[in-house]
Chain A
Amino acid sequence: MSAAQGRLNDFVVKIATVNGTGSASANSLLLKAFFRMGIPVVGKNYFPSNIQGMPTWYEIRVTRDGYAARSGEVDIMVAMNAETYAQDIREIAPGGYLIYDSTWPRQQTLSRPDITVIGIPLAQMANDAFADARVRILMKNMAYVGALAALIDIDMNVIRALIEQMFAGKPKLIPANMQAIELGYNYAREHVACPLPLRVEAMDKTRGHIMIDGNTAAALGCVYAGATVGAWYPITPSTSLMDAFKSFCARMRTDKETGEKRYLIVQAEDELSSAGVVLGAGWAGARAFTTTSGPGISLMGELVGLAYYAEVPMVLFDIQRVGPSTGMPTRTQQSDIQICAYASHGDTRHVCLYPADPRECFDMAVAAFDLAERLQTPVFVVSDLDVGMNDWMVPDLTWDDSCRPDRGKVLSNADLEKITSFHRYLDVDGDGIPYRTLPGCHPKGVYFNRGAGHNKWGGRTELSDEYQDVMERLLVKWATAATLVPKPEVIAARSGAPWGILAVGSCDGACKEALHRLAEQGIHIDYMRVRAFPFSAEVEKFLADHERVFVVEQNRDAQMRGMLVNETSVEKAKLTSILHYNGMPMDHRQIVRTIEDAVAEEAAA
């Protein structure tokens, strides 16, 4: 009993369903219910690249300690999909629970002695209560919400309030949904000793927080940054970013009387074209962005190179998915780290920002436009499916109304009047960033933009020294970029810790949980999360200050480690990779195990 006591507000519920059966709203209802009870939650959606009929799972971790990653274990499995039943039952941790639809007989051969099986006739109850076939399927989902509410003690008032809010636009649907929830609730109460030892209880740890996915947050960031042109080609898992931008703009950037839009979204014919639109708009002075994923980045390469060399601002959101090639479009990975950093032929390097959660997606979206215009170069926001499409609990997004965008070195007509002559690629200020003008400006500011060799005056050249002069100056700009990009996040375990973990993006939650669990064992390790490329001086220092650094990332080829070796003076042997790339969001276990082993090895040596 004491072990179960210890699991109050600390366990994982996973729901296995078939996609296209409307389980998403039931699952998000559950997630929100915990959140409203003040309990920190982590929600992960494992969905197929399919519209209807394939297995899909939703995993909710309630975590009183406020961990941000998945735990890697399942304590309660709601098995609604016969096709994955065997797999689902295997996944339950010893001492856990299986909830299944007892309308049909269960495969007894798949029993496990170390779990508790709870049968609830969900389909039967829904069929008896509702006439319409489609409604029956939907209500079966609501019935498992009700059953769970009874089993783990979710506050029914919270559920009722959420249902009323969910169907505020269609109040007629409220009674049926509540009825279905109560069917499941009452059945569980009558047939099972409720609540189970694994249960929830109200806390006060979600105040001042929201549940939001990274793509929605990034879209808000684009609105607040003043982006006016969006160009894209639909691709999972980035689509919801432009969709969200569109719906925010429809509400916030459309004149209510005239219908005039203060934005323009081009759904282009492919990613080559969407990159071209962003480049053209950036050149002409609009804040423009595209949303894509790995395959799109591959296609955009040539235009990114043009923007780098001709020095045109662009913002590109790469919501990474599993590669190579088509890979697994609905699974997460960080395998575009290097293609974003070095996209295109020739010597090119690009500014990259690596958000770790939706709040950072918002902040970094804003920062990306400032950096792109300040540095006149492409900026990638390298997010991933886990951050982009899952709901995360993050502190409220905030906005400072005195904030104004940094439009960079753009000469106005008044500026042009004052100067004798304008030269596009001259490093006037010594920071490697030249001045630019926008098409349509004062005649003095006219210049010819080109991807062909050019000299510092802006003229075409095939002269070696003139070409090289511009390439060298771009390195000065790169050094300036390293001082402007977001600084890494650093957590010092205690002074003089010899080992460090260096992570990027969505590895953050798993790493922080691992640090905590290792500290409980007396293993103290420093932490740095790289938030941008080029690496700032702090990254170099962290690497220098530690004897050994574990580099945690989500790809096979240790792409971030490769960049650290390439771009800093770190000795290669210092860096030990911890690689997770199976497509599922990362959890702490692999990190803890690797470091425990390393500690043991060192003790033995």
Chain B
Amino acid sequence: MSYIRKPNITYKGRAKNALGLSESSYEGTMSTLCAGCGHDSITAAMTRAFFELSIPPNRAVKISGIGCSSKTTAYFLSQSHGNNTVHGRMPSIATGAAAANGELHYVGVSGDGDTLSIGLGQFAHVIRRNLNMLYVIENNGVYGLTKGQFSASAAFGAKTKKGEVNPNPPIDPVKMGLALGASFIARSFSGDKNHLVPLIKAGLRHKGFALIDVISPCVTFNDHEDSAMSYKYAFAHMHTAADLIENKPEITADFPEGAVVPVTMHDGSDIYLKKTDPDYDPTDRARAFEYVMRHQEKGEIVTGLLYIDESRKDMHAANQTVAAPLNTFPYEQLCPGSAALADVQKRFR
């Protein structure tokens, strides 16, 4: 249970980031999810990414909806403000928070039910607003908290543990993101932390809406033979389209030689795309769509940074909002004063 305190252990000699903080400063309370849950791996990747980017924990904001995935915002960054809201409405609440203060790092955590069923409308519209946030879908194709119903991302014809067959086709958040013009779209797998951490970091650095769909098997309700969202299936069918590599020599050295494409982010930093598939171009939306579909037809889950557009304005830029956060903007510059009120009323006489 979450009110059981997690032991606060600091290891001697543990690595520190640029702020002098160790990774434990980015951890949260103890997870209450089932042992082996893919979501816990994502939580660990999240912790690592914030740590490696040296983001002050109190400058990050976690927002989620309802469901197993949404609960995880309590399990990382306990030194950040968090907001576990209502089912499917995290995008609007994130929009409001970011409207009030655009200076913080917003990370939204959602699930396939929270995003693709009850929250599909809000998901679509937060993409349209290009809200500057990282939006992670912990996608397991199943409703865990209510014990195993199909979600909107369950594969057509998939079977539940009890043998029930899914009569409806899935909604793919990646294809939705591509269709709606999301400016950063990636897919990863919870069981592959080395793949996921760089994507989370790139998503956090992206100025705009960064979507990462993370296949995250549900060990209790959806990790069986007939599921396309099981560990076994994911490991067997993952297909990397364009990988991200860190611009640190000690890490890049681990990767084999290949075509490496740098992409400059808004904050001036570069991310490097390692093309494992020679014809893959993550800046070509139409071809990205075609690529994802072609591989899906073969039963393959395409992973990596699938699409990026650093040129789109985020919500504040599109609105031309003043740079200083609106939540603490000086009142004297918001209230026009009595003379202006008298003046405005001339037209009402």
- Write the residues of chain A forming the contact surface with B, with a CB cutoff of 8 angstroms: 32, 35-36, 210-212, 220, 223-224, 226, 228-229, 231, 248, 252-253, 255, 259-266, 268-270, 272-286, 288, 302-303, 306, 396-401, 404-405, 437-443, 446-452, 459-461
Contact = CB atoms under 8 A, between A and B. Distances in A.
B97 A212 contact: no
Contact of B81 (A262, A302, A439): A439
Contacts, number: 226
Nearest to A262: B322
Contact of A283 (B73, B93, B316, B333): B93
A281 B104 contact: no
Most chain B CB inside 10 Å of its own CB: which residue of A264, A274, A441: A264
Contacts of A400: 338
A449 B329 contact: no
Nearest to B316: A264
Contact of A285 (B100, B129, B320, B333): B100
B96 interface: yes
A45 to B, nearest CB: 16
Nearest to A248: B344
Contacts of B99: 229, 231, 264, 266, 277, 280-281, 284, 286, 288
Contacts of B328: 285, 438
B103 A440 contact: yes
10 contacts: A231-B99, A264-B99, A283-B97, A285-B100, A286-B99, A286-B326, A401-B337, A437-B81, A443-B57, A448-B81
B74 interface: yes
Interface in B55-89: 57-59, 61, 63, 73-74, 78-86, 89
A223 B336 contact: yes
Nearest to B326: A228
Contacts of B83: 280, 283, 448-450
Interface string B100-129: 110110000000000000000110110001
Nearest to A442: B58
Contacts of A260: 320-323
B11 interface: no
B121 A269 contact: yes
Given A231-B92, A273-B91, A440-B104, 7 more contacts: A210-B348, A224-B341, A276-B96, A280-B96, A400-B338, A439-B81, A439-B104
Contacts of B98: 280, 284
Most chain B CB inside 10 Å of its own CB: which residue of A255, A261, A404: A261
A280 B93 CA distance: 4
A451 B121 contact: no
Nearest to B93: A280
B337 A273 contact: no
Interface residues of B, number: 62
Interface string B34-61: 0000000000000000000000011101
B269 interface: no
B33 to A, nearest CB: 14
A437 B81 CA distance: 9
A77 to B, nearest CB: 28
Contact of B349 (A211, A231, A405): A211
Interface in B317-334: 319-323, 326-329, 331, 333-334
A269 B126 CA distance: 9
A220 B92 contact: no
B15 interface: no
Contacts of B101: 284-286, 438-440
A504 to B, nearest CB: 26
B306 interface: no
Nearest to A284: B100
A286 B345 CA distance: 27
A399 B124 CA distance: 42
A253 B334 contact: yes
Contacts of B84: 448-452
B323 A281 contact: no
B121 A266 contact: no
Interface of B: 2-3, 57-59, 61, 63, 73-74, 78-86, 89, 91-101, 103-104, 121-122, 124-125, 129, 315-316, 319-323, 326-329, 331, 333-338, 340-342, 344-345, 348-349
A159 to B, nearest CB: 15
B218 to A, nearest CB: 21
Given A253-B334, A446-B80, A284 B86 contact: no
B329 A210 contact: no
Contact of B326 (A264, A279, A399): A264
Given A210-B349, A220-B344, A460 B2 contact: yes
Most chain A CB inside 10 Å of its own CB: which residue of B2, B78, B81, B348: B348
Contacts of A285: 100-101, 327-328
A548 B60 CA distance: 59
A255 B322 contact: yes
Contacts of B80: 439, 446
Contacts of B85: 276, 279, 306, 451
B95 A439 contact: no
A447 B341 contact: no
Given A270-B121, A280-B96, A284-B96, A226 B334 contact: yes
A251 to B, nearest CB: 9
B331 A405 contact: yes
A439 B323 CA distance: 17
B97 A280 contact: yes
A283 B95 CA distance: 11
A451 B349 contact: no
Contact of B82 (A277, A278, A405, A449): A449
Contact of A278 (B59, B63, B96, B340): B96
B96 A282 contact: yes
Given A260-B323, A277-B99, A398 B349 contact: no
Contacts of A452: 84
A306 B86 contact: yes
Contacts of A303: 86, 89
Contacts of B93: 276-277, 279-280, 283
B66 to A, nearest CB: 8
Nearest to B88: A272
Given A210-B349, A224-B336, A286-B327, A398 B100 contact: no
B187 to A, nearest CB: 25
Nearest to B87: A302
A460 B74 contact: yes
Nearest to A302: B86
B329 to A, nearest CB: 6
